[in-house]
Amino acid sequence: MTVSLKIFQILMSISFKRNDVQVYIENAQNCYELEKWGSYKSVFINWKISENDVIPLKNCADSDATSYFFKAFESFIQALIDIHKKKQSWAIVKLYYSIFYLLRCDILLSNHILVRNCGLYFSQLLKNEKFAQFKKGKLRGDHQLTIAFVKDLHLLGKIVDPILDNKIDDNDAYTWFMMNRERINYSQKNFSEPDIDVCFGHFYYYFEERKVLDLFAFYNSKDYSICFDTDHSILSIPYKKLVQVLNKGRGKIDFSGTYSRKLVFHLKELAEFGIDRKELLGLINQ
């Protein structure tokens, strides 16, 4: 037995909830064992969304959009805590993941769904639509392909996102951010701490003086051009994307029950740094 197979079997023995869209599509092909999903590929790519599938799939998409939004929100809050504690390196990684989850949420809110089966497949959530594999040159993995897919939807006018209307150092803003995450994880020999990472130098004062809400109010007063100002990009991009997706998701993102408790739990963590949760929510909801 190979090491990879052993790891797979261990993961399959752990009980956790997977994305609702993915599970629905698997079950629609009568596949109920994840390890056998790859063998259903030929059936899957010929399957069409029926009229009876549309509403259940929309419910699944809304559920997954909520999950992605809260994973993004939680990552963003944890990044703010890290920055306050002068742990900028992992803050950059968490801010990047916040963006990645928001992109996946944005895709769902645009009425498109993604499913994995030995590759990334997409479909518009409409009757009679089929899944097609999404490929883009040499790009590989969920992260690169997700950014590329959002860019394609933006070019087609199916996603409105001013953050993609300009570039930073010849890269779209999300690829620029991914490159910063890769700089921290792979390229840079050492983490910058206790020194301040170059990306935070211009606005770290707001964290030292516990005036982060003033910084967010400043971002609210600016249009999306603040995302391309590299003095602010590392924080303005995830902040502006969070506000943007929240506005798009009104009526679809669920803030009740468990998610309400998640919201309160994480916002309480910010009190230690002088961030009032009601004021922060007020700024994000503008």
Q: What does the domain layout of the chain look like in residue ranges?
A: 18-284
- In the predicted model, is pLDDT for residue 13 greater than 80? no
Most confident of 82-86, 137-141, 257-261: 82-86
Instruction: Give which of 42, 105, 206, 228 is closest to 31, Cα–Cα.
Output: 42
Q: What is the DSSP string of 221-241?
A: HS-GGGGG-TTTHHHHHHHHH
Q: What are the tokens at 206?
A: 């707001």
pLDDT exceeds 80 at position 6: no
CA dist., res. 62 & res. 108, Å (int)? 7
pLDDT band at 5 (very low <50, low <70, confident <90, very high): very low
Task: Give the residue from 229, 222, 219 showing the smallest Cα distance to 167.
Answer: 229
Which position has the token pair 């629609």?
Answer: 28
Average pLDDT over residues 147-154: 98
Residue pair 96/181 in contact (Cβ under 8 Å)? The answer is yes
DSSP state of 166: S
pLDDT tens for each residue of 88-123:
999 999 999 999 999 999 999 999 999 999 999 999
CB 79 within 8 A of CB 235: no
- pTM of the predicted model, to two decimals? 0.93
